[in-house]
Amino acid sequence: MPPKVFIAKPVPQAVRDYVGKSCDYEMWNEQRPISRSELLDRISDIEGLMVTSLISRIDEELLAKAPKLRIISNISVGYDNFDLEVMKKRQVLGTNTPGVLSNTVADLALGLMLCSARRLSELDRFVKEGQWNSQISEAEFGYDVHHQTLGIIGMGSIGLEVARRAKNGFKMNILYFNRNRNNSAEEELDARYCDLPELLAQSDFVIVLAPLTKETKHLIGSNEFSLMKTSAIFFNISRGGTVDEEALISALRERKIAGAALDVFSHEPINKDNPLLQFPNVITVPHIGSATMTCRNEMAMLAAKNLVAGLKGENPPNLVKELL
Ligand code: GLV
């Protein structure tokens, strides 16, 4: 009997066909995201689950409802939804989709950098609202991006792609802070490894790309914002939880930094009354790092390959390192 699998979001036909060759699958086929309780109702006899880090936490409650589950294949690079201890205890494998999204997320990072430094969304509104009545004044000026210093917190494969674009395209000077040294970044791009306080103090643009873990929760808080230049622009493209959002709001109110661009938030979708939505110098986008059709399709296919390999008893290519 082929193993039963549940795919918790719609994926392309080619991905379904791939899974269908070795598994008996069902798929959530609504555009509305599946709720936690709907997910819990669908998993009692499955051996494999394809999900995203944003759909559901993989915890004791979920695993208890799916006693046959052998592998969770995230269609995302982040796996902060995995309760790694519980998965280890129950010997459930967990995989993610690194690599295939690095270029797409890095493109967004550069887009946000240009957009915030040159105030593109503010000034687009300025024109459309009929405020462009004479020559623009210094009030509409932005900041240069080229030749500025970019501080990257989290130099994995996305960080490296951001650094490449910044260095090769905009001649930026790269600083980075990471658990480990990144030789490619240092040799190829002359990136300089430094500690977090130094990176914060010296960077014109500070970008967080580190995954959310126990160690990185609220990595950036009021103390860190105080260390930044008042002209610095702050970016979060990792997970909302890496930043203390209240501290970010205070830093913006007190003009400790010049602006921010955010793809991720402490609560998603963002609450309509979140003060971050009130700042003209804050760009907000709805967690779109990997949101292009090509990239999402590649992620789904990679997740399917991980899933099928795990169910066949092979080593899935992207087993998360904590569960190796
Ligand atoms: C997106 O946020 C991902 O983790 O892939």
Q: What pLDDT is recorded for position 3?
A: 98
**DSSP code string of 235-262:** EE-S-GGGB-HHHHHHHHHTTSSSEEEE
* Number of domains observed in the structure of the chain: 2
Q: What pLDDT is recorded for position 53?
A: 92
Q: Cα separation of 21 and 16, whole Å? A: 9
One domain, residues 92 and 123: no
Ligand 1 pocket: which of 50, 76, 81, 287 to mutate (most atoms within 8 A of CB): 76
Q: Over the stretch 96-129, which tens digit does the pLDDT of each residue have?
A: 999 999 999 999 999 999 999 999 999 999 999 9
Q: What is the CA(171)–ligand 1 centre distance, in A?
A: 28
Q: What is the CA(322)–ligand 1 centre distance, in A?
A: 18
Instruction: Give the 3-state secondary structure of residue 25.
Output: strand
Q: What pLDDT is recorded for position 9?
A: 97
At 215, which CATH number? 3.40.50.720
Q: What pLDDT is recorded for position 123?
A: 97
Q: Cα separation of 167 and 113, whole Å? A: 13
Q: What is the CA(239)–ligand 1 centre distance, in A?
A: 8
Q: Over the stretch 146-183, which tens digit does the pLDDT of each residue have?
A: 999 999 999 999 999 999 999 999 999 999 999 999 99
One domain, residues 16 and 47: yes
pTM of the model: 0.97
Whether pLDDT at 324 is above 90: no
Whether pLDDT at 311 is above 90: yes
One domain, residues 89 and 238: no
One domain, residues 60 and 188: no
Q: How far apart are the first and last CA of the chain?
A: 27
One domain, residues 239 and 301: no
**Widest CA span in the chain:** 73
Q: What pLDDT is recorded for position 249?
A: 98
Closest CA to ligand 1's atom 1 = 76
Catalytically active residues are 239, 268, 287
Closest CA to ligand 1's atom 4 = 78
Q: What is the CA(180)–ligand 1 centre distance, in A?
A: 21
Where in the sequence is the domain holding 195, given as residue range(s)? 102-284
Position in ligand 1 atom list of the atom nearest CA 79: 4
Element (H, E) at 126: helix 120-128
Residues contacting 263, CB < 8 A, separation 6+: 108, 112, 235, 236, 237, 285, 286, 287, 288, 289
One domain, residues 193 and 316: no
Q: Over the stretch 263-272, which tens digit does the pLDDT of each residue have?
A: 999 999 999 9
The set of protein residues with a Cβ atom below 6 angstroms from ligand 1 is 53, 76-78, 101, 289-290
Q: What are phi and psi of 207, to 5 degrees?
A: -125, 130
One domain, residues 171 and 197: yes
Position in ligand 1 atom list of the atom nearest CA 75: 5
State mean pLDDT over 293-307: 98
Q: What is the CA(290)–ligand 1 centre distance, in A?
A: 7
Q: Over the stretch 174-201, which tens digit does the pLDDT of each residue have?
A: 999 999 999 999 999 999 999 999 999 9
pLDDT band per the 50, 70, 90 thresholds, residue 66: very high
One domain, residues 229 and 208: yes
Plot region of 206 (φ>0 → left; ψ -120 to 50 → alpha; else → beta): beta
Ligand 1 pocket: which of 50, 101, 236, 264 to mutate (most atoms within 8 A of CB): 101
One domain, residues 156 and 269: yes
Position in ligand 1 atom list of the atom nearest CA 53: 4
One domain, residues 253 and 238: yes
Show the CA angle centred on residue 243, arms to residues 60 and 79, nearest 5°. 35
- State the chain's mean pLDDT as an integer: 97
pLDDT band per the 50, 70, 90 thresholds, residue 255: very high
One domain, residues 94 and 218: no
One domain, residues 128 and 273: yes
Q: Cα separation of 4 and 54, whole Å? A: 22
